[in-house]
Chain A
Amino acid sequence: DVKVTQSSRYLVKRTGEKVFLECVQDMDHENMFWYRQDPGLGLRLIYFSYDVKMKEKGDIPEGYSVSREKKERFSLILESASTNQTSMYLCASSPIRRSNQPQHFGDGTRLSIL
């Protein structure tokens, strides 16, 4: 069974801090995704990556960056955290670009920016 592991379930940071959210998948998937989930807005794609060192902007990339140095790991970086980035962050992976295979999700990180 696919396992997508996010490093923290809950995280509290201060405004202006640089924040790292880590995600690891164990199924050799090419595609990895970062979403944020907010009530009434569903899931919105921040960034995705379909290969090592490759990244593409999603729908709401402002204020975020990503890093994919190894195939199994995809990091989301909040360069200077702000209160409007308080949210639930979900990481997902799926095999092979242009595949019809569904995405597999991690448990999420609930991030609070004070």
Chain B
Amino acid sequence: AQSVSQHNHHVILSEAASLELGCNYSYGGTVNLFWYVQYPGQHLQLLLKYFSGDPLVKGIKGFEAEFIKSKFSFNLRKPSVQWSDTAEYFCAVNARGSSNTGKLIFGQGTTLQVKP
């Protein structure tokens, strides 16, 4: 069965610090990968996605993620965080190909707190 693991449950950073949130998945086949963000009081929204091609993908608000197939990882990065990045971040995976029903498997989430 597919699963997604996010290593950091709660991260506290000061503004301008660099961010890296880990995400590993387990699935033997080809996958689509997503990072979602949930700002306080708001709905989940897509940060970025990877389907194929360049394994380094750029998303909104200066975020990027790198797909490393050999490590089954899709870590999220941002060079310099802002107070407004305070939110909960979710990594998600779905299987590509005939088994793709559009279902997403989510990680446990990482709460990021940025101190001004």
Q: Name A residues whose Cβ lies closer than 8 Å to a Cβ of B.
A: 4, 31, 33, 35, 40-45, 48, 50, 56, 58, 90, 92, 94, 96-100, 102-103, 105-108
Contact = CB atoms under 8 A, between A and B. Distances in A.
Interface of B: 4, 6, 9, 32, 34, 36, 42-46, 49, 51, 90, 92, 96, 98, 100-109
Contact of B51 (A33, A56, A92, A100): A100
Given A105-B43, A107-B42, A40 B102 contact: no
A44 B107 CA distance: 9
Given A90-B44, A100-B51, A102-B49, A41 B108 contact: yes
Contact of A105 (B44, B49, B100): B44
Contact of A100 (B6, B9, B96, B109): B96
A35 B106 CA distance: 10
Contacts of B45: 105
Nearest to B51: A100
B43 A48 contact: no
Given A42-B106, A42-B109, A98 B44 contact: no
